[in-house]
Amino acid sequence: MNMFRFKSIQSNIAAAFAVLILLTAVFMGVISYQLSAVAVRDTAKDFTGELVKQVNANIQSYVTNMENISLLVLSHRPVREYLSADAENDGSISEFFRTIMISRKDIASISAFGYEGQRFVSDRNDARLNPNVHATDQPWFREARAAEGRTVVSPPHVQPVFDDEYRWVVSLSREIRSADNTRGLGVLLVDLNFSVINDIVSQIELGKRGYVFIVNDEGSIVYHPQQQLIYSSLKTEAIDKVLSVQSGTFISDEAGQRKMYTVQDSEIGWKIVGVSYADELIGNRREMKLSFAALGVFSLFAAILLSVLLSRNLSKPIHQLHEHMKEVEKGNFNIQVPVDRTKEIGRLARTFNLMVFQIRELMGQVVKEQEFKRKSELNALQAQINPHFLYNTLDSIIWMAEEKKSDEVVLMTSALARLFRASLSKGKELVSIRTEIEHITNYLTIQKMRYRDKLDFQLEVDPAILSYVTLKVTLQPLVENAIYHGIKNKYGTGTIRISGEKYGDSILLHVADNGVGMDAGTLERLLAPARGGGYREGKGVGMTNVHERIRLYFGHEYGLTVASEPDIGTTVTVTIPLLLPEEAARKEAADGWQEGER
């Protein structure tokens, strides 16, 4: 069983919607994750850039400070005088240096070294020089001398010239020149505590793991939190790339680590570089993913719920329609499908209802037409005078004429004439019971003359019913049957008794004979409807037709009933509605009394 092969519209729609909603949710999730990742990365980039700029600005401000200090010192005449050996140190220079340094904790020392006579003055009176290390050998000294008055900023280094100190400093050095600027007198050294820069740089937080390092123009590392690892080649930085960009950002891939470098050029020839880990830029990546996953799971449930509801809503009217169609299939056309709110299904239901209505109409029409046709056929059949009867009657008249029984000839001929006339009855199907009784009287008169002692008849019709209507030629076939099948075969005289009375809303007409009668089987077959629309030949054909005609005209509750017992006789009862001629005419004109009962 393939569980993905849905058979019903509902499950199809449900699955399709679930998949659609889930896909949309996943798609949106991925897109929004990407978008927010990009946004976060951009923010991080800007933020890092700002931080690095800030670091640069801070370092720059310290260096500017040192430069200002150096300018102060350079413009101080006693310093020049002392270094050029024009004056001795009376402590006022140290005092001046100390004044400058007041409230400047970042400055480690201010000192001046003369080219001649090893002259040295510092902010501290008691400062001693390291006997084993010579200031003239130090890079800051040599570079300042070579720079001829321009400032030189050293990388962080240990300052060994002071005895027993070994402080980490950044040195600003500058040659002190003679007043006429023709020759150098010595070197001014301003030492900045390196801890100041170290603090600025190490306290910068670039995510959890990011850091800031500094390189100089030559690409050697000025500061790096993992400087020792770099010396030991345990770590490398993309220094070539850093040097190739002035200021800006680039991404570097090293040993599977994506790092973002933010470079900021500094005026003192350093490059401040902020390094952030790319995977950390989106710090809450895990949480974001978790959220999107939760969203996805939720969407799935929502999708299933929504699609089940939606598909049920969609397929419910279809199911309903189907149920009604099944009813129609069974033959029940008397139904009406409730019209759904949905446009399409509603239209379908309306059309279906219309169709069922039309089928019902058509079927009614067909039934009516069939009945009309049958009625016409039966009428035509009924109107015929049996040729045998005519022949026999005329034969009887001839016999009577030959025997010169003119009275009887007149009687029989006039009865025959009235019989014909009654059967014409101006083409009307409904006649009064009086007319019908007259008709049957004429018929019986003729038959009695033919059969003489063999046949006798009695009429006992309630005069109250004579004005009501009945179908014409109702009784004649019954009487004919009674004669030919009941009395003709009987030994002795047979009596036919015709009676009529009102019975509730109906009229009952009885044709009773005391002929041979019938057994139960024959009786049962007698009024059974003819199959296949054919007419049964022989016995009872006339009766069946009468029965059918009454039912067609008046409805199924009317018609014939037969009671019979062998050797005793048969009684046929005609039941018809109690109708006056006017009512009957109205109904016949409307041609619709069958509809009322269907």
| Site residues for another protein per CB under 8 A | 130, 132-133, 155, 157-158, 160, 164, 166, 168, 194-195, 198-199, 202, 208-209, 211, 220, 225-229, 231-232, 234, 284, 286-287, 290-291, 294-295, 298-299, 302, 306, 310, 341-343, 346
Q: In this complex, which beta carbon is closest to another protein, that of residue 169 or of residue 176?
A: 169
Considering the complex, what minimum distance in angstroms separates the CB of residue 86 from another protein?
34
Amino acid at 230: I
Q: In this complex, which beta carbon is closest to another protein, that of residue 199 or of residue 557?
A: 199
Q: In this complex, which beta carbon is closest to another protein, that of residue 155 or of residue 486?
A: 155
Q: In this complex, which beta carbon is closest to another protein, that of residue 286 or of residue 598?
A: 286
Beta strands in 4-115 (DSSP E): 107-114
Report d(CA 589, CA 8) in Å as an integer: 55
Report d(CA 260, CA 275) in Å as an integer: 6
Q: Is residue 344 left, alpha or beta, with left meaning phi > 0 and alpha meaning psi from -120 to 50?
A: alpha
Considering the complex, what minimum distance in angstroms separates the CB of residue 103 from another protein?
21
Considering the complex, what minimum distance in angstroms separates the CB of residue 259 from another protein?
11
What is the token pair recorded at 403?
């025997």
Beta strands in 278-370 (DSSP E): none
Report d(CA 566, CA 514) in Å as an integer: 10
Q: In this complex, which beta carbon is closest to another protein, that of residue 228 or of residue 370?
A: 228
Considering the complex, what minimum distance in angstroms separates the CB of residue 257 from another protein?
10
Beta strands in 313-453 (DSSP E): 430-432
DSSP state at residue 2: -
Q: In this complex, which beta carbon is closest to another protein, that of residue 346 or of residue 364?
A: 346
Considering the complex, what minimum distance in angstroms separates the CB of residue 309 from another protein?
8
Considering the complex, what minimum distance in angstroms separates the CB of residue 238 from another protein?
16
State the pairing for strand pair 120-122/221-223: unpaired
Considering the complex, what minimum distance in angstroms separates the CB of residue 338 from another protein?
13
Amino acid at 105: K
Report d(CA 593, CA 595) in Å as an integer: 5
What is the token pair recorded at 558?
């009317």
Closest CA relative to residue 569, chosen from 518, 510, 508? 518
* CA dist 480 → 31, 371, 413, 425, 543 (Å): 100, 26, 19, 20, 9
Considering the complex, what minimum distance in angstroms separates the CB of residue 195 from another protein?
5
Q: In this complex, which beta carbon is closest to another protein, that of residue 285 or of residue 418?
A: 285
Considering the complex, what minimum distance in angstroms separates the CB of residue 166 from another protein?
6
DSSP code string of 152-205: EEPPSEEE-SBTTT-EEEEEEEEEEE-TTSSSEEEEEEEEEEHHHHHHHHHT--
- The separation between the first and the last C-alpha atoms of the chain, rounded to the nearest angstrom, is 51
Considering the complex, what minimum distance in angstroms separates the CB of residue 180 from another protein?
35
501, containing H or E segment:
strand 494-503
Considering the complex, what minimum distance in angstroms separates the CB of residue 115 from another protein?
22
Write down how long the chain is.
598
User: 3-state DSSP call for residue 544?
Assistant: helix
- Sort 364 into a burial class: Cβ within 10 Å, 0-12 / 13-18 / 19+: middle
